A and B are shown apart, each in its own frame.
Chain A
Amino acid sequence: MVKIVIDGKDYEVPAGANLVDAAKNAAGNDIPVFCYHPKMEPVGMCRMCIVELGMEEIDRETKQPVLDDKGQPKVRWMPKLQTACTQKVTPGMHVRTATKLVEDARQNVIEFLLTSHPLDCPICDKGGECPLQNLTMAHGPGGSRMVFNDKLKLDKHVPLGDLIYLDEERCIQCARCVRFQDEIVGDDVLAFHERGRSLQIITNSDPGFDTYFSGNTTDICPVGALTTADFRFGARPWELTEVPSICPHDAAGSNISLSTRLDRDAGGKAVIKRVMPRQNEYVNEIWISDKTRFGHHFTRSEDRLLHPMLRRGDTLAPTTWKDVFARVAGDLKAAGSDVAVIAGGAITNEDLWELKQLAAGLGSERLGTWTPTYGGADLVAKVGVGKGTNLKDLGKGDAVLVIASDLEEEVPMWRLRLKQAQDRGAYLVVANARHTRLEDFATQKERNGKPVSGATIRYNVGEAAHVMHELKTRYPEIAEKLAGATNLVIVAGAEGLTLDGSKALMQAAANFLISSGHVGKANNGLMSPLPGANGMGLHYMGFTPENTQHIMANPPKVLIVAQAEPGEDDPTAAAWLSKVETVITLSLFPDKTTHYATYALPIQSFAERDGTFVNGERRVQRFYTAQGPMGEALPAWKIVAGMREALGQAKPKVSAAAVMLEISNKVPAFAGCTYKDLAKVEKQFPDVGGADLYYGGTAYDNKGGLGVQIATSADAGETPAVADVTLPAVPKAKDGELLLLPTTRLYNRSHVFKPSVLVHPRVLLPYVELNEADAHKLGVQPGDVVEIAFGDDTVRVRAGINGTPAGVAVLPRELADKATPFLPTSGTIKKVTEPVLA
């Protein structure tokens, strides 16, 4: 800490802190800024943060401050005003922020800015939450002396890509957007063009603004120059109600705020007008991915399942909930304990708890996860990243290994934060059977003028566990660096692996962490990009992929498929689903699973109800009810509770909160996770939200809760033991065939993403990526349509030739209109002439 003097008062501030931050935190002194942003390097462009700056004179000999006649340290004031944002505090620094000189300079900067500003606030999306408006009110002149009618006429609707529009007139050239892309994301797709007053933001990627994080620039843009295609002209900020929520799409569990409004188009019901980041420095800081931001439209999709449906012959017909509960109870009773549940990754803990209770009441513990691909969640519970982990703390001396995962596509928020860990000095190793975006960062030696370190490992498809298990002998140098790191985080996915392979990889990774002493403490341990927002919740509630495999092999009499779509995901679904006597689906959409259903029951999406998820860092997080229900849909837990009541098991709980209370009492992992606990907040840095939006942007401050991180058993003091790794057989193609490698694409044609129409131009057509030699052998050129055959099934996709390993064909899931393998599978490829999508 160092002592500085602001407006005559002494403050203790962290040494080396930025002056703007220090003044705000220590003195509550809001030095106005436009270009400065607490998450980025200062650039001193806007000149708004101007202050008087002085240093105490130090006697060269005695090294003591020189005193004036009053015994006060003599201050040498700089002749010119200085920008506070470019100053790091030093001992003996004196700052004046409230003098006439400073006030005048601030007023002048505002006056200058407004000379070219269109002042179209009445039709500007930022109006009402605009730093320029706010700072003009606080510091600006009452009127302008720039009285020309032909102020500045520029293009007001420039699409920088499909998702973001630029209003050239409103841009104040602060470069926050450019710097965000360069410094934070590492996708440097924005730039300035021209100079002087013609200086304009352009995109230099094709397609435009090609990044998964573009929406964040609209939050930090201090004016309404950048707006999203989603929200532009959609509503005025002051009409919106902010509802704290959690992104339902992936394991990051990004904290979001759903901006809702009662909408005529929705029959007067509250609907989501936009999704905004909600600050949680542990989880997503103040950022969200574009999928999180734009992937909310499914909640109000017209295709949603709206009524409880009962099978009548070949069709499903609507019925009442009462009827459903009575009938289901009858079916369940008849099945005895031959009942099983398969639940998807985006279902809540409350739902899972009721499902588990239902099954238990019937004497069944057959609880499976969908998809049955990711093993080792139990190990995340044992040696996952320690309590208090914040990826933001990883830096110099630390290391990260990402293996068998394409994080950019699976959990973009983690990719963002781990890339930043590397920026801060962490050693980043990316191991995979093919190229991924994160690998680009790992191979860089220098970024934005600073050295970065990393390494990459390529292995044969399916050999991730082998590499991890034998890392010390295969890659001694890398292994040594990882083992010797102060903090080590391993992110292990399941790409290219069978379930056994995934389990082996997780165990091998856990072993590495245990033997190098990187468990049981913050910022150390294991993470996994489990699919969905509640992969860890599934684990804690006793749902396992092994059970799913068993269920698929031994179909029960009654199967409840809860927010899972095996019919959409599994090419072999017909074979086992049709053997189940009674399929009960709890579904958002009628889909290929409901084909098999006796009961297709509509559930509410995350936006229509409250509930909790456990993210990949084991943080239990709560979301709140944001918009009115669709049709007769109910929260899944309530539907299950209705079944339980009809079975005579228990009376339904009155609320999700009451369900969580029971969970917190009965499941040790959730002790201390009542809704009240989950709603706790603390002061975070940087201070965003409210009147401070000039500083951090329009990310919302967190009023809904920071969540509670579940301790690992290592945290709890249990000494984890290294366990044997059974190396699985590596998936191989049959003779003369190719190995189809399923991968994940962030933008896909799944039911929960398809309704986000604005992103459609960015969703790739179904494709397969081939190795050059293989393509040559098959006579396939880039762009050709090929038919891929696997098992009894075929799918038509477009071929790309992109340096995949020989003998391997990368076949991303959820792009085609039918199920493609979710595990590595042998298949054949031939060129055809039919179109790709019907």
Chain B
Amino acid sequence: MTNPIILLRGQEVPNIHQYDVYVQHGGYQGLKKALGMSPDEVINEVKNSGLRGRGGAGFPAGVKWSFIPKNEPVKYVTVNADESETGTFKDRLIMETNPHQLIEGALICAYAIQAKAVYIYLRGEFWDVAHQLDQCIEDARKDGWVGKNIGGGNFSCEVYTHLGAGAYICGEESALLNSLEGKLGQPRVRPPFPAQKGGGLYGEPTVVNNVETIANVPWIMVNGAAEYKKIGTEQSAGTKLYCVSGHVKKPGVYELPFTATFRELLYDICGGPSVEGRNFKALLPSGGSGPIVHLNDQVLDTRMSYEDTAKIGTIIGSASLIVMDDSVDITWVASKVTKFFKHESCGKCTPCREGTYWLDKVIDRILAGEGRPEDVKLIENVAKNMAGITLCALGEFAANPIIHTIKNFPDDFNQHVAKKAETKPVPAKKLAAAGD
């Protein structure tokens, strides 16, 4: 059986990004169908489909929608197109090639929760994508799919795009809402959650969903929840866009059902290691923020679903596979990733603001061959002290790579500090005197 294509459907159609072409190929039929149902029926359909959030956490989308209080007069939908996770480049593909799919999906969501407006929040670098989306919104408006009395009924909803100013943290939903409101992009204290009164955009209940999550919705409406649920695994319904980068022959974005294994993707599709004679060493399945694993047979034979990746001690997250062969020093990876998080920490809470800086300093020292034997324990401990007490998950993301690189690749670290111990033994007395 050929793999079902949901998110990349229409890619082969020339100019599918144009409204007319999209409509010729069944566009806006999902929205039309939804408008013929009650909002609750739409929510139930999405719930029954088993669609989970593709932004990283995998929260069931329909359940999230059902949290929106019915009696509040003002509600919003916010599409998270900040796409800043290291190694993630899937949302952009959807928006570049098949943008109407996203607009249609967002409007279905808006109808389901009876939102007044949809905001598509894009990372600042996506200005060209935003321009295209703006055009699409205007085209769809001409046919009555956007604005007042959508589809001739009494549901009205505006769609806006908004460009961020280049911060990873603005992909975190509450920081995104702050940024959208024109405030400093820092996460908010939760509860209240975005879906609750007081927690969303301008304090109003708000659904925040990833681009890919929303792009699934038109298909689900047209083909039904049952069809969707047939694809994928028990707990991970549907297909996923996998972003592959690193040491494979054919990096790129691939759509596969959740039943696919890492081996199928990395060997059968991506063609295996990019350099002859080298072997796969390690994999970051979810960009820099998820736990790193040995890219061994056990991992290769694991299905790339939420539940299966959990069993091997990692996550599929936003499915940003960064593949590393045996030429890579994992200490260097830890350093790179740490620099990223240090640069992106918003600075709002103490452990992340200070911890990322501290980690970076010590890893630099280790990489420079100046590390002391206890430095490895030190950074592991610093990372553990950060994890679990930060305000938002970025702190956790920053701690993860350290904890897991050391846990899974201890030798890579020890070789550096061992070198130091061999070449330049420092007398204990001098150490104490220097306070270093």
| Chain A positions near chain B (C-beta within 8 angstroms) | 42-48, 50, 80-81, 86, 105, 108-109, 111-113, 115-116, 145-149, 172-173, 191-192, 194-199, 449
In addition to A196-B353, A197-B353, 17 A-B residue pairs with Cβ atoms within 8 Å of each other are: A45-B348, A45-B349, A45-B391, A47-B349, A47-B350, A47-B390, A47-B391, A112-B354, A113-B350, A115-B358, A146-B358, A173-B350, A195-B186, A196-B345, A196-B356, A197-B354, A198-B347
The docked-state distance in angstroms from the alpha carbon of A231 to that of B371 is 45
The docked-state distance in angstroms from the alpha carbon of A45 to that of B358 is 18
CB distance from A449 to the nearest CB of B (A): 5
A108–B347 CB distance below 8 A: no
CB distance from A728 to the nearest CB of B (A): 48
Closest to A175 in B: B348
Q: Secondary structure of the A side of the interface?
A: loop
**25 A–B pairs (Cβ distance < 8 Å), ordered by A:** A45-B348, A45-B391, A46-B349, A47-B349, A47-B390, A50-B389, A80-B388, A105-B385, A112-B350, A112-B355, A145-B378, A146-B361, A147-B436, A173-B348, A191-B184, A192-B184, A195-B185, A195-B346, A196-B343, A196-B344, A196-B345, A196-B356, A197-B353, A197-B356, A449-B198
A42–B189 CB distance below 8 A: yes
**Which residue of the partner chain, among B198, B202, B345, B435, contacts A195 with CB atoms under 8 Å?**
B345
**Which residue of the partner chain, among B189, B198, B203, B351, contacts A86 with CB atoms under 8 Å?**
B189
**Which residue of the partner chain, among A42, A47, A196, contacts B346 with CB atoms under 8 Å?**
A196
Closest to A105 in B: B389
CB distance from B54 to the nearest CB of A (A): 25
Closest to A193 in B: B184
- Across the A-B interface, the 6 shortest Cβ-Cβ residue pairs: A199-B347, A112-B354, A108-B385, A196-B345, A44-B189, A196-B347
**Which residue of the partner chain, among A43, A145, A195, contacts B347 with CB atoms under 8 Å?**
A195
- On whether A449 and B343 interact (CB within 8 A), knowing A116-B357, A147-B436, A195-B167, the answer reads no
Closest to A172 in B: B350
The docked-state distance in angstroms from the alpha carbon of A42 to that of B190 is 11
B342 within 8 A of A: yes
Name the residue among A47, A105, A172, A198 with the largest chain B CB count within 10 angstroms: A47
Which residues from 331 to 377 on chain B have a C-beta closer than 8 Å to any C-beta of chain A?
Answer: 342-351, 353-358, 361
Chain A residues with CB below 8 A from B435, complex form: 147
The docked-state distance in angstroms from the alpha carbon of A111 to that of B382 is 10
B169 within 8 A of A: yes
Chain B residues with CB below 8 A from A198, complex form: 347
Chain B residues with CB below 8 A from A191, complex form: 184
The docked-state distance in angstroms from the alpha carbon of A47 to that of B353 is 12
Chain A residues with CB below 8 A from B349, complex form: 44-47
**Which residue of the partner chain, among B189, B203, B382, contacts A43 with CB atoms under 8 Å?**
B189
The docked-state distance in angstroms from the alpha carbon of A199 to that of B185 is 12
CB distance from B347 to the nearest CB of A (A): 4
**Which residue of the partner chain, among B167, B189, B203, B344, contacts A449 with CB atoms under 8 Å?**
B203
Chain B residues with CB below 8 A from A86, complex form: 189
Name the residue among A147, A149, A172 with the largest chain B CB count within 10 angstroms: A147
The docked-state distance in angstroms from the alpha carbon of A86 to that of B190 is 8
The docked-state distance in angstroms from the alpha carbon of A172 to that of B198 is 28
Task: Report the tally of A-B residue pairs with Cβ distances under 8 A.
Answer: 98
The docked-state distance in angstroms from the alpha carbon of A199 to that of B342 is 12
Which residues from 172 to 229 on chain B have a C-beta closer than 8 Å to any C-beta of chain A?
Answer: 184-186, 189, 198, 202-203
CB distance from A81 to the nearest CB of B (A): 6
Closest to A50 in B: B389
A173–B353 CB distance below 8 A: yes
B357–A47 CB distance below 8 A: no
B345–A44 CB distance below 8 A: no
The docked-state distance in angstroms from the alpha carbon of A191 to that of B184 is 9
Closest to B384 in A: A108
Chain B residues with CB below 8 A from A115, complex form: 354, 357-358
A197–B357 CB distance below 8 A: yes
CB distance from B175 to the nearest CB of A (A): 10
- On whether A45 and B343 interact (CB within 8 A), knowing A108-B389, A146-B358, A196-B356, the answer reads no
The docked-state distance in angstroms from the alpha carbon of A45 to that of B345 is 13
Closest to B435 in A: A147
Chain A residues with CB below 8 A from B378, complex form: 145
Chain B residues with CB below 8 A from A47, complex form: 349-351, 389-391
CB distance from B73 to the nearest CB of A (A): 13
Chain B residues with CB below 8 A from A149, complex form: 436
The docked-state distance in angstroms from the alpha carbon of A172 to that of B435 is 25
The docked-state distance in angstroms from the alpha carbon of A449 to that of B184 is 15
Closest to A450 in B: B203
Closest to A34 in B: B350
Closest to B181 in A: A449
A46–B167 CB distance below 8 A: no
A197–B189 CB distance below 8 A: no
The docked-state distance in angstroms from the alpha carbon of A113 to that of B385 is 13
B350–A195 CB distance below 8 A: no
The docked-state distance in angstroms from the alpha carbon of A80 to that of B186 is 21
Chain B residues with CB below 8 A from A111, complex form: 385
Closest to B388 in A: A80
The docked-state distance in angstroms from the alpha carbon of A109 to that of B390 is 10
Closest to B189 in A: A44
Chain B residues with CB below 8 A from A45, complex form: 348-350, 391
The docked-state distance in angstroms from the alpha carbon of A109 to that of B228 is 46
The docked-state distance in angstroms from the alpha carbon of A113 to that of B355 is 9
- On whether A48 and B347 interact (CB within 8 A), knowing A81-B389, A196-B356, A449-B203, the answer reads no
Closest to A198 in B: B347
The docked-state distance in angstroms from the alpha carbon of A149 to that of B347 is 22
Chain B residues with CB below 8 A from A42, complex form: 189
Chain A residues with CB below 8 A from B350, complex form: 45-48, 109, 112-113, 172-173
Chain A residues with CB below 8 A from B343, complex form: 196
Name the residue among A50, A172, A197 with the largest chain B CB count within 10 angstroms: A197
Chain B residues with CB below 8 A from A196, complex form: 342-347, 353, 356-357
**Which residue of the partner chain, among A80, A109, A199, contacts B351 with CB atoms under 8 Å?**
A109
CB distance from A245 to the nearest CB of B (A): 37
Name the residue among B342, B346, B347 with the largest chain A CB count within 10 angstroms: B347
A197–B347 CB distance below 8 A: yes
The docked-state distance in angstroms from the alpha carbon of A105 to that of B435 is 25
The docked-state distance in angstroms from the alpha carbon of A195 to that of B165 is 12
Chain B residues with CB below 8 A from A449, complex form: 198, 202-203
CB distance from A792 to the nearest CB of B (A): 56
Q: Chain B 260-285, CB within 8 Å of chain A: the 1/0 string?
A: 00000000000000000000000000
Closest to B187 in A: A44
Chain A residues with CB below 8 A from B391, complex form: 44-45, 47
The docked-state distance in angstroms from the alpha carbon of A759 to that of B357 is 40
- On whether A108 and B351 interact (CB within 8 A), knowing A44-B391, A45-B391, the answer reads yes
The docked-state distance in angstroms from the alpha carbon of A106 to that of B343 is 25
Chain B residues with CB below 8 A from A80, complex form: 388-389
